[in-house]
A = this chain, B = another copy of it.
Amino acid sequence: MLGAALQLSAACALVAHALFQLRRLTRIQAALASAEEEARFAMDERRAERAGRVKAEREPLLVPAARARLTLRPEMSGAYFEGLQEYSHCWVLYVFHENTDLQRLWQEEPYAGVPAKIRVPRLDGGKMGVYATRSPHRPCPIGLSVAQVLAVEGHTLVLGGADIVDGSPVLDIKPYVPFCDSVPAAAAPPWVAMRAEDEPLSIGSLRISPAAEAELRTAWWRRGQRSLFGGFDDFRLLIEEVLSRDIRSVTQRIKVPQRAQQGGPAALHSSGGGGGAAPQRQAQAGQEEQQQAGDSQGEGYWKVVLDGVEISYDVEECSRDVLVRTARAVPTD
């Protein structure tokens, strides 16, 4: 019935509970091996797994170099995808399965884990109602991203520009239908429509040191067949696209430098880069304490993992220049 009365409902709590079980379920899926890799990596490196997330709320159009492979379950026919290759874009509905607040969300009363208002990176920490944002931290942790349809190869859909974390459980794929989905005249508030150079996430310049460039090349080569990219240049473009925005969380960006001033240079060493307002993770109050545990190897202040390569970089807080310092392949078996 059109003219409907709806309710934002108990549905969320139930789905959240299901997603918790689902999360365990996905752990045993072969295609999600990288999630296990990451967990193992985390144990070795003391919370370095936080480096694996990338802020993504505005990335579908900003990081076209991103690549993803989406695979149907083996018992499903490839015919489910038939005709999808005729569209240029599709929607991916997925679960924010690595949210730090996910456990809280379903272990406590419904909604107890998700405050009504959250800090918004573009407002430099100013707060907005959850439903006025694309934050992954919401009562029902379902993500929605547009991606390019690059190819359908049997059970596999190859996507471009998808701002989705590795191993995310995918719920649905829908074709992008321009006359239904594209509303170019749609209005958003000024803080959303802000020009890139005026907003707090802009980066002055991006440099990759010669040493890091060589390490990136070696690390990417070690990935071999596991890389989602056909050549090093494509992979390097991804790094440039991702790091040309400030991908740290609001708390990391604002609070860590302040403490560094009080506590001396050591406090600057954090392995929490990229974990903040990430697509699937946001630094919670208190957690950034842990993140400030110094990186004893002095490899860099912030880290991000892209296509299985861990990249360390500095952000100069005044000029907002970024320097990529080191790179290495994430250890696997």
Binding site for B on A (CB under 8 A): 1-12, 14-15, 17-19, 21-22, 25-26, 29, 31-32, 34, 38, 52-54, 56-61, 63, 66-73, 75-77, 79-84, 86-95, 110-111, 116-117, 128-134, 138-140, 142, 144, 146, 157, 162-189, 192-193, 227-229, 235, 238, 242, 305-308
Contacts and interface: CB of A to CB of B under 8 A. Distances in A.
A105 to B, nearest CB: 13
Contact of A144 (B31, B73, B144): B144
Contacts of A132: 81-84, 86-87, 175
Given A5-B31, A11-B171, A177-B192, 17 more contacts: A1-B166, A2-B163, A2-B164, A4-B69, A5-B34, A5-B69, A6-B164, A7-B72, A7-B73, A7-B170, A11-B19, A15-B19, A57-B180, A58-B177, A80-B130, A80-B131, A83-B129
Contact of A66 (B2, B68, B163, B235): B2
A107 to B, nearest CB: 16
B93 A93 contact: yes
B87 A188 contact: yes
A273 to B, nearest CB: 13
B4 A166 contact: yes
Contacts of A53: 1
A305 B132 CA distance: 32
Contact of A186 (B70, B82, B142, B182): B182
Contacts of A88: 183, 185-188
Nearest to A32: B7
A144 B5 contact: no
Counting every copy of the chain, the complex holds 2
- Chain B CB count within 10 A is highest, among A52, A61, A177, for A177
A71 B6 contact: yes
A254 to B, nearest CB: 20
A73 B26 contact: no
A11 B22 contact: yes
Contacts of A306: 1-3
Contact of A164 (B4, B144, B166): B4
A178 to B, nearest CB: 5
Contact of A18 (B17, B63, B144, B189): B17
